[in-house]
Amino acid sequence: MKNLLVTGGAGFIGSNFVRYMLDIYPDYHVIVYDKLTYAGNLDNLLDVKDDPRYGFVHGDICDAAKVEAVVQEHDIDAVVNFAADTHVDRSLMEPGSFIQTDVYGTYVLLEVARKFGLERVHQVSTDEVYGQVLEGSSLETDTLVTRSPYSASKAGGDLMCYAYFVSFGVPVTITRGSNNIGPFQYPEKVVPLFITNAIDDIPLPLYGDGRQQRDYQYVLDHCQGIDVVLHRGTPGQTYNLGTGVETENIVMARLILDLLGKPYSLIQHITDRPGHDRRYSLNCDKIGALGWRSRHSFEEALEKTVRWYVDNEWWWRKIKTGEYREYYKRQYAGREIK
């Protein structure tokens, strides 16, 4: 496994994964294949762009002919699929592109893998496919009870992967990661949204009572877990990747304000997200048996993340214009709870 196709590699986690893999494996070649939607950004890959082991192709995973051409031209051994529409709130506004990319696009990659006999398709999935977990923690064998168009689309992709393993012997693996935080995350997701708003003294829009819980993990821990499964995971198997520690959103918001020396009065409770999943929680014993565990505590991960956004205004200030402003207005205008 020397030539990797990283689909969606210009996004948040994909770009961190590319950097991580080029660092760890000196003899690997990595081709990023990305549609460059609003969330894809070549600034995320600036520091690897001159590496002779790296290449970029602009394309859609739904375009089978183009994916096939890239696989042939670069003699690809394995695909790691990060490409997806990823934001729950946008999936509530416009679900169609989520179904197209996250389900149909995954099918296209699986067909190409089948046709060319690739060594592996690794599907990067999410804890959200289990639906909300009010008590206990999700096991990989749990039923998928999805509640948003985003999570339903991701579950569709996962199930298609498994179907291709069973029906056609395509060697797939799946990881279901919890919420990632770290450098290069588009500031629609809650942590970079709150950090960048707080830096500018703009209110932090907290949904409902803010008591919803998420397992926030540092993005490089997640990348390392994907690497472990890619190389040592068993085809046909799914692995949860998380820290096992859940944090309430209001606690996360206050910590960000503490780290930036800003007042809690910036927190503004707003009308809740429809169908908002109250809690996610992963049981990670299965990946633990392969020797992986998350290295950063929530506090360390958040501190590193806040520091990165403070030090890298060049990256996020230009994003928070144009399309972003339109989205922000559409998503947040008139939702504040008096």
Q: Which residues bind ligand TYD (CB under 6 A)?
A: 88-89, 128, 179, 189-190, 193, 205-207, 212, 214, 249
Q: Name which of 239 and 266 has its Cβ closer to ligand NAD.
A: 239
What are the residues facing 181 on neighbouring strands? 218
67 binds, among ligand TYD, ligand NAD, none (CB under 5 to 8 A by kind): none
The single residue of 127, 158, 215, 221 carrying the catalytic annotation is: 127
Contact 184, 131 (CB under 8 A): no
Minimum gap (Å) between residue 337 Cβ and ligand NAD: 26
193 binds, among ligand TYD, ligand NAD, none (CB under 5 to 8 A by kind): ligand TYD
Q: Name which of 8 and 183 has its Cβ closer to ligand NAD.
A: 8
- Alpha carbon distances (Å) from 264 to 52, 250, 261, 310: 47, 10, 10, 19
Q: Name which of 186 and 292 has its Cβ closer to ligand NAD.
A: 186
Active site residue 128: yes
- Residues whose CB falls within 8 Å of the CB of residue 5, separated by 6 or more in sequence, listed in order: 31, 33, 70, 71, 74, 76, 78, 79, 80
Phi/psi for 79 (5° steps) reads: -110, 135
Minimum gap (Å) between residue 41 Cβ and ligand NAD: 7
Binding site for ligand NAD (CB under 6 A): 7-8, 10-14, 34-37, 39-40, 60-62, 82-86, 101, 105, 124, 126, 154, 177, 179-180, 186
Q: Name which of 61 and 160 has its Cβ closer to ligand NAD.
A: 61
Per DSSP, helices labelled H in the chain are 12-24, 64-73, 88-93, 96-98, 106-116, 149-168, 190-199, 219-232, 249-260, 285-288, 298-311, 313-317, 322-332
Tokens representing residue 306 in the block: 């806040």
Q: Which residues are the active-site residues? A: 127-128, 150
